[in-house]
Amino acid sequence: MHIIKGTPISPGIAIGKAIVKNTLQSEIHLEQNKNPNDEKQRFHEARLEAIEQIKGIYEQMLQTKGEEEAEIFMAHITMLEDVELIEGVESTIDELSCNAEWALHHIAKNFIAIFEAMDVEYMKERAMDIRDISSRVQRILSSDETHNIFELKEPAIIVAQDLTPSDTAQMDPNLVIGIINEDGGPTSHAAIIARMMGVPLIVYSNITSLVSSGQMIAFDGSTGDINLHPTKEFIEEYREKQLKLIEKKEQLEKLKGTKTITTDGFKVELAGNIGMPKDVKAVLEQDGEAVGLFRTEFLYMSRNDFPDEEEQFLAYKEVVEKMQGHPVVIRTLDIGGDKELDYLEIPKEMNPFLGCRAIRLCLSKPALWKVQIRALLRASVFGELRIMLPMITVMEELIAAKEIIEEAKEELRNEKITFNENVSVGMMMETPAAAVMADVFAKEVDFFSIGTNDLVQYTIAVDRMNTQVAHLYSPYHPAVLRLIKKIVDSAHEAGIWAGMCGEAAADKKLIPLWIGIGLDELSMSPPSLLETREQIQGLSKKEAEKLVDEVLSLKTAKMIEERLQ
């Protein structure tokens, strides 16, 4: 048997043909018999888009760094308009009837070789510039390739090096049977989205070198087992497993319409996490009682410019209306970390998760952020919309964010546009600093929602994306659990509610603790909702409280996990 073991990320059985998505530059292949006019057009469109992107960076650099540093980007534009480069690519396409990627790769390589051979340092540096512009155009060209790959004609398993969150969000869950990715931990956003869509996912480094497109493979997303050459018997066995999962799902259907309540009457609000308005359907289908986290950054990703106020307003209104008066917690833009926006040039950072991310980024671009706040306020009259601020770490950020919300309200009043004057404003609890200061923050907001994905990484200093340190990343760490208890106690003392919307909210081993600690709301991927309800209906709050005392006296994550097992 050809079974290899990867890291299980999103549960479920996948059996099907693989499609391998290679994204590295070195993977550019010569493809012939292409239509030269189409390829030249693709090249020009990508080149012009690259010029537009660079103009944006130039303006930004001009404002933030000054003329000298911005100048280099002008030079990049000149290069992209260079007749020799353009004619070189065009004539290569004509001669070979080849793909635009290969023609550009070939011409850029020649230019680089010429510049590198020169004695003058200044000229040598131009080789770097050529590399830079060429990889920008290649990225643009490959993003339309990516698009093609996800416009699948038939069901397939996607095998990829570095599937981005927006790649995953663009996939059609009816055609993507499963994903094997080389990168990312269980709380990377590509993983979260896959779980939300109910698509099985495993991480296995090097997988793209072991599998070819068209190869039949099978894997189990809950164990991490990947069979690269499954036999007929093996496929039969996996089909049976699949059937059992379907049966279990059918059984859970019976819980629809019942309450999420413990045997001794403690009620929890069971909510779903979404990334796009269309995901509400899954929340409703799984009988979610609320939307506990709408990650609005996905509205901004997978496109080429910012969604305007009207577009955002319609998206938020749609979700709020579909939830028919049930709460909808909408988190303001959380870009940065592993979520990038191609059209928002954020300077490369050494530690993007510790950098200009989420509320920090938004407060540095208040005009842009206010567009979102205005859209949220306008949608607030259509149901129970709540605004949530991501990654608040220090009080100044909360004050500044609330000031902008007040400004937006004032603008709307002046424009005679209605909104809910009492709209709830809450904050994510995802940094240790915020957790330690929870009693202080609790007096300033209407609710807390604990983002364990980040709270874990920041508390134990383990990058949630880094597979090298993935063994250290644990929501069972006593430091994390103590912080969570402190957050919930502080919320209750101040008379506000506290929920949880990180992946740990649906962790079967931890749910008894969340009940014992007294979380008011749990928000998770829709496929986990009914299973969680079933579990909660079998728990006693009193017993769970005893468990919390016992667990919080244990010293290590391992001891805690074993006890909860």
Cα distance between residue 493 and residue 106, in whole Å: 66
Shortest Cβ 16–Mg ion spacing (Å): 32
> x-or-dash pattern for ligand PEP, window 500-519, by CB under 6 A?
-xx-----------------
Q: Where are the beta strands (DSSP E) in 380-489?
A: 385-389, 424-429, 447-450
Shortest Cβ 523–ligand PEP spacing (Å): 8
Shortest Cβ 8–ligand PEP spacing (Å): 19
Cα distance between residue 358 and residue 297, in whole Å: 9
- Nearer of residues 39 and 183 to ligand PEP, judged by Cβ: 183
- Is 171:155 a contact under the CB 8 Å cutoff? no
Dmax over Cα atoms in the chain, in whole Å? 81
- Nearer of residues 8 and 502 to ligand PEP, judged by Cβ: 502
Three-class secondary structure of residue 148 per DSSP: helix
Q: What is the 3-state secondary structure (H, E, C) of 39-94?
A: HHHHHHHHHHHHHHHHHHHHHHHHHHCCHHHHHHHHHHHHHHCCHHHHHHHHHHHH
Regarding 477 and contact with ligand PEP (CB under 6 A), the answer is no
Regarding 526 and contact with Mg ion (CB under 5 A), the answer is no
Which residue in the set 21, 105, 195, 295 belongs to the binding site for ligand PEP (CB under 6 A)? Answer: 295
Q: Which of 338, 342, 307, 302 is nearest to 147 (CA)?
A: 302
Query: With CB under 6 A, what is the number of residues at the site for ligand PEP?
Result: 11
Sign of CA pseudo-dihedral 115, 116, 117, 118: positive
Regarding 334 and contact with ligand PEP (CB under 6 A), the answer is yes
* Contact region with ligand PEP (CB under 6 A), list: 18-26, 106-114, 226-234, 451-459: 451-459
Regarding 451 and contact with Mg ion (CB under 5 A), the answer is yes
- Is 18:202 a contact under the CB 8 Å cutoff? no
User: Under rule CB under 5 A, which residues in 413-432 are in contact with Mg ion?
Assistant: 430
Shortest Cβ 394–ligand PEP spacing (Å): 17
Question: Which partner from the list Mg ion, ligand PEP, none does 501 bind, CB cut-off 5 to 8 Å by kind?
Answer: ligand PEP
Does residue 471 carry a catalytic annotation? no
Which residue in the set 430, 463, 507, 521 belongs to the binding site for ligand PEP (CB under 6 A)? Answer: 430
Q: Among the residues of 118-227, which ranges form H helices?
A: 121-150, 165-170, 189-197, 207-210
Regarding 454 and contact with Mg ion (CB under 5 A), the answer is yes
Regarding 463 and contact with Mg ion (CB under 5 A), the answer is no
> x-or-dash pattern for ligand PEP, window 167-206, by CB under 6 A?
-------------------------x--------------
Using DSSP bridges, classify how beta strands 201-203 and 290-295 pair: parallel, antiparallel or unpaired: unpaired
The CB-side HSE value for 473 (13 A sphere, CA atoms) comes to 23
Three-class secondary structure of residue 328 per DSSP: strand
Question: Which partner from the list ligand PEP, Mg ion, none does 138 bind, CB cut-off 5 to 8 Å by kind?
Answer: none
- Nearer of residues 502 and 516 to ligand PEP, judged by Cβ: 502
Cα distance between residue 158 and residue 172, in whole Å: 11
Run of H or E including 98: none
The CB-side HSE value for 560 (13 A sphere, CA atoms) comes to 24
* Contact region with Mg ion (CB under 5 A), list: 109-117, 220-228, 450-458, 511-519: 450-458
* Contact region with ligand PEP (CB under 6 A), list: 96-104, 117-125, 401-409, 445-453: 445-453
> x-or-dash pattern for ligand PEP, window 208-247, by CB under 6 A?
----------------------------------------
Query: With CB under 5 A, what is the number of residues at the site for Mg ion?
Result: 3
Residue found by looking up tokens 């205005």 in the block: 374
DSSP state of 348: P
Shortest Cβ 508–ligand PEP spacing (Å): 18
385 alpha-carbon distance from chain centroid: 22
* Contact region with Mg ion (CB under 5 A), list: 41-49, 305-313, 414-422, 448-456: 448-456
| Amino acid in the structure at residue 87 | E
Shortest Cβ 428–Mg ion spacing (Å): 6
Which one of 76, 105, 189, 477 is the catalytic residue?
189
Question: Which partner from the list ligand PEP, Mg ion, none does 295 bind, CB cut-off 5 to 8 Å by kind?
Answer: ligand PEP
Regarding 521 and contact with ligand PEP (CB under 6 A), the answer is no
Does residue 501 carry a catalytic annotation? yes
Regarding 297 and contact with Mg ion (CB under 5 A), the answer is no
Cα distance between residue 329 and residue 522, in whole Å: 12
* Contact region with Mg ion (CB under 5 A), list: 110-118, 164-172, 368-376, 449-457: 449-457
φ/ψ of residue 138, rounded to 5: -60, -40
Question: Which partner from the list ligand PEP, Mg ion, none does 292 bind, CB cut-off 5 to 8 Å by kind?
Answer: none
Q: Where are the beta strands (DSSP E) in 398-540?
A: 424-429, 447-450, 497-500, 521-524
Three-class secondary structure of residue 443 per DSSP: coil
- Is 540:511 a contact under the CB 8 Å cutoff? no
Regarding 452 and contact with ligand PEP (CB under 6 A), the answer is yes
The residues that touch ligand PEP, with contacts defined as CB under 6 A, are: 192, 293, 295, 334, 430, 451-454, 501-502
Would you name the residues annotated as active-site residues? 189, 501
